[in-house]
Amino acid sequence: MPTLYLTTQGSKLRLRQRRFVVEQDLEPPPDVAREEILSVPAVHVDQVLVFGNISLTTPAIGHLLDHGIEVTFLTQDGRYRGRLVGAEGGNGQLRLQQYQRVLDGEWALETARAIVQAKMHNSRTLLRRYARRLGDASGELTAAADELTALIESAGRCRTLNSLSGVEGRGAAVYFAVFRHLITAAGWTFDGRNRRPPRDPVNALLSFGYTVLTHNMESAVRAVGLDPYLGFLHQPAYNRPSLALDLVEEFRCIVVDSVVLRCLNNGLILPTMFRRDESPTAPYPVLLDDEGRARFIRELEARLELMFRHPDSAERVSYRRCFELQARRMAACVQSGQVYRPFQVR
């Protein structure tokens, strides 16, 4: 369990005999032990994600800080609130080189271009796989995949970041325009990507998954000594982990979108697991219940830990290991000046 997900509202994380123990925080009756929800060896935990009203004891916080285990605090529905991290890595030289690369317009553009092309390549691969699996009688999936091919070539000709962003936006629009055809289970509708906040169950799942993916990637970026807030495709902005978001692009469809489709098409997540709040002041008009959230987290974690043969090295790795490898590859490119090579599925 590299990532410990804390979702039970009103619970508390404790450290007890080298184990992380999650208990109900309510005071039990006399002579009755607190209800234990979860207990795992502390040595098995690499990251903690806290959703909503959950507390941590001081000994637990001390262990997390001493062992470099990041804690990410989110609202119950997945909105980022903040992080608890120990001492930052001391590789100042690497960060200085990263700052210089950000200011090198030509190198930054080449890196951003490679990321956009890889994102569209992986999206095209997913569409083609589903076209073969489902038959694609209408031809819409194949047509979208062909348009992504043309956009990949267009990205290669972009000479400014603005034009590249335009191509990326068009690629996302093409992909999500046919995403509804990948959902085979009854009861779901998808009319396009929307967010901040997501306004339907499918978009709520996508946004939730992208949030978890981003914070896993930010942990990998920090671990290799890079500054997560200085990216090349995503320009620096206040409180935005731009470099982590850069590296997320190549994994969005092959990690999160694949899990969302699996959950919907296999009946692991049902429409009845969502609650709607139609009031105009509601910050989140669509809310996933506790059971649905637990199922989705379980499937997402299984995907992150799935072992496969890396397309470049033939090494058996998990997706979480790939995040680290890509962060290290980015660090090496920052130092050497070589163009970054993203992760691409075949």
d(CA 274, CA 220): 32
Contacts of 211 (CB under 8 A, 6+ apart): 74, 78, 79, 80
Closest CA relative to residue 261, chosen from 199, 207, 183, 198 = 183
CATH number, position 233: 1.20.120.920
DSSP 229: T
pLDDT of residue 207: 93
d(CA 340, CA 277): 44
Q: Does 255 reside within a domain?
A: yes
Same domain as 237, residue 156: yes
Domain-ending residue, one of 55, 84, 113: 84
Domain-ending residue, one of 84, 101, 135: 84
pLDDT of residue 44: 84
pLDDT of residue 28: 54
Confirm if 323 and 220 have CB atoms less than 8 A apart: yes
Apex CA 254: angle with CA 250 and CA 260, to 5°?
A: 130
pLDDT of residue 142: 94
d(CA 79, CA 239): 13
Same domain as 159, residue 62: no
Same domain as 300, residue 211: yes
**For the chain, what is the domain count?**
2
Same domain as 249, residue 113: yes
Same domain as 55, residue 158: no
Same domain as 325, residue 214: yes
> 10-residue block means of pLDDT along the chain (346 residues)?
81 89 70 71 86 88 86 80 73 89 94 96 95 86 95 94 94 95 92 86 93 91 90 84 95 96 95 80 76 91 89 84 92 93 90
Domain-ending residue, one of 43, 68, 84: 84
pLDDT of residue 1: 53
Q: Does 345 reside within a domain?
A: no
pLDDT of residue 32: 47
Closest CA relative to residue 274, chosen from 261, 262, 264 = 264
- Structural domain for 12, as ranges: 3-84
Q: Does 61 reside within a domain?
A: yes
Paired tokens of 51: 């959703």
DSSP 68: T
Q: How many CB atoms neighbour CB 135 within 10 A?
A: 9
d(CA 37, CA 13): 10
